[in-house]
Amino acid sequence: MKKYGTIFILLFSILFCFTWIIGLGWVLVDYSSTTSNQEPKEALSIDNSSINKKDGIQLLALGDSLTRGTGDDTGKGYVGYLKESIEKESNQKITLSNYGIKGLTSAQLAKQIKETEIKRKANHADILFITIGGNDLFQGGETLKHYNKQAISALSRSYTANLKSMLSTLRSVNKDAPIYLIGLYNPFNDLENSSITSGIVRNWNNETAEICAAFANVIYVPTYDIFQQNIQSFLYSDHFHPNAKGYRLMAERVAALISWEVETK
């Protein structure tokens, strides 16, 4: 009896080992099959697209005291009001870089635009705004006060050459972003000989508009008509720069020309 018991235990042990070996084989085969069908896991990496993607809309404002906002007690100027308008309309974060300098001439701006920092800002800008030419033409009122046709023609030639240079530079670093160039108004419209001064300003603006039209996506923004009537209601106490009301009207004029389907780079 003891002999049969020993044989039974031996057979049971052999069967158990055989079953265990078969089971282990199936597990290994299943594991191998499962892992071979899985896609390999990618190594942890940084999403470069999220780093390079800009946050919102980048605005760059260049030019003279009008870009600086001189005469606006709030300090916003037309650029500040425009920023608020674009922010509201686009529902995006707006970053504004304002490099406006009081008294800046077209020659100085053409030089400034070639600076490394300005070119870098221009390259990343989604929209650019420029006011320039007033200091070239008016020169504190002296040019129109002592009218000289030949002198004004010389000023115009210098200005147009500088304007072409600065637009060429901007387009070389940013081929797509719209550039809004704001035209001149006549701050002396209510003074003596206003018909002469107004004619000079209109001719100056016409030349500016023609140059803008020669460049892709450069938009000339007229402001002459805004200040044509009741000009003192829109001028600061210096009778030259716009006040807050005048700057708001300028901003509204520019905003009306902006395509709100702004594509950030």
Model confidence over 192-229: pLDDT tens digits?
778 889 999 999 999 999 999 999 999 999 999 999 98
The matching CATH number, chosen from 3.40.50.1110, 3.40.50.920, 3.40.50.2300, 3.40.50.720, for 56-257 is 3.40.50.1110
So where are the chain's domains?
1-30, 56-257
For the chain, where are the alpha helices, taking DSSP H only?
2-37, 48-52, 65-68, 77-90, 106-112, 116-124, 134-138, 142-145, 149-173, 194-213, 244-257
Predicted TM-score (pTM) of the model is: 0.78
C-alpha distances out from residue 160 to 64, 177, 204, Å? 16, 22, 9
Model confidence over 76-135: pLDDT tens digits?
999 999 999 999 999 999 999 999 999 999 999 999 999 999 999 999 999 999 999 999
